[in-house]
Amino acid sequence: MVDQIENEGMKSLIENITAIQVESPVDKIIGQLKQLIVSGQLKPGDRLPAERVLSERFGVGRSYIREAILKLEFYGLLRTNPQSGTYVAGLSINVIDNIISDIIKFNKDDFNALIEARYHLELNAVKLAAERRTDEDLESIKSAMEDYEKKASTGGDAVEEDMVFHIKVAKATKNSVIESMILILVPDLIKNIVQNKICGDNRAKTAIEEHRKIYAAIESQDMAKAEEAMASHLDEIWQISKAGFAAQNIINEAEV
């Protein structure tokens, strides 16, 4: 156990230490690959040197090379053909450069950015959901809503039930990309929301009302009303979040 005294100083020290070695091997590799491309040694469409070669050239194990390639593949910058090789996407160097630069620093721990992105995404999502929802979607959303109400009325924080409600709405958009994006944000949202104690008894009561409004709008397929209801729902969370975050932004214990 760490001493309770002087844990402030200890914290900043720890942060410095982790900050120094924060450059993970894979990010370094990605950076070097970027350099290869930007410098012209590797042109779009070219085949990458074999993993073994890269491994040796960068002085690192092949596992890291594979991990880096995997990450870049997710972003569509590389394409790997089994038993043949890995190829650079046919994008211009400018595009590749821009994207790689930001892959390295892609982290969702910017609280405001997270909430803001969620806000815009969900506003669009609820409109699409209202437009396209099937009866099955409606059933699913309703069920999630009732779960939330049950949990919230017993006093517990129903953050996760709330999120399930929103996930079900996202599913009703019939747009897998938008749905996936919301899905990516959800765990971080939950973490931040519970961390900043957005949830109180009075809040839960009003949220129930808001959910019902959203549901009703989706049911009647009223896109405008759905957007309005979602906006007021999220606005409130946003405001509380900002206040709570300002008060508690020191406490960032690294637990799951």
Partner DNA sequence: TGATTATTTTTGGTAAACCAATTAATTGGT
Partner DNA sequence: ACCAATTAATTGGTTTACCAAAAATAATCA
Shortest separation between residue 217's beta carbon and a copy of itself, angstroms: 18
Chain positions contacting DNA, by CB under 7 A: 25, 48-53, 55, 60-64, 66, 80-86
Residue 64 contact among DNA, a copy of itself, none, beta carbon within 5 to 8 Å by kind: DNA
SS in 3 state form for the chain?
CCCCCCHHHHHHHHHHHHHHCCCCHHHHHHHHHHHHHHCCCCCCCCECCCHHHHHHHCCCCHHHHHHHHHHHHHCCCEEEECCCEEEECCCCHHHHHHHHHHHHCCCCCCHHHHHHHHHHHHHHHHHHHHHHCCHHHHHHHHHHHHHHHHHHHCCCCCHHHHHHHHHHHHHCCCCHHHHHHHHHHHHHHHHHHHHCCCCCHHHHHHHHHHHHHHHHHHHCCCHHHHHHHHHHHHHHHHHHHHHHHHHHCCCCCCCC
Q: From 7-15, 91-99, 201-209, 213-221, give the range in contact with a copy of itself by CB under 8 A.
A: 91-99
d(CA 132, CA 222): 11
* One of 107, 135, 155, 246 touching a copy of itself (CB under 8 A): 107
Shortest separation between residue 4's beta carbon and DNA, angstroms: 16
Residue 5 vs 254, nearer CB to a copy of itself:
254
In angstroms, how far apart are the furthest CA atoms of the chain?
63
Our finding on whether 110 is near a copy of itself (CB under 8 A) is: yes
Residue 52 contact among a copy of itself, DNA, none, beta carbon within 5 to 8 Å by kind: DNA
Shortest separation between residue 81's beta carbon and DNA, angstroms: 7
Shortest separation between residue 23's beta carbon and a copy of itself, angstroms: 15
Q: Is residue 207 a contact partner of residue 162, using CB atoms and an 8 Å limit? A: yes
Residue 84 contact among DNA, a copy of itself, none, beta carbon within 5 to 8 Å by kind: DNA
Q: Give the total of residues touching a copy of itself (CB under 8 A).
A: 57
Our finding on whether 177 is near a copy of itself (CB under 8 A) is: yes
Enumerate binding residues for a copy of itself (CB under 8 A): 45, 63, 67, 70, 74-77, 79, 87-92, 94-95, 98-99, 102-103, 105-108, 110, 112-114, 116-117, 120-121, 124, 128, 147, 160-161, 163-164, 167, 175-181, 183-188, 190-191, 256
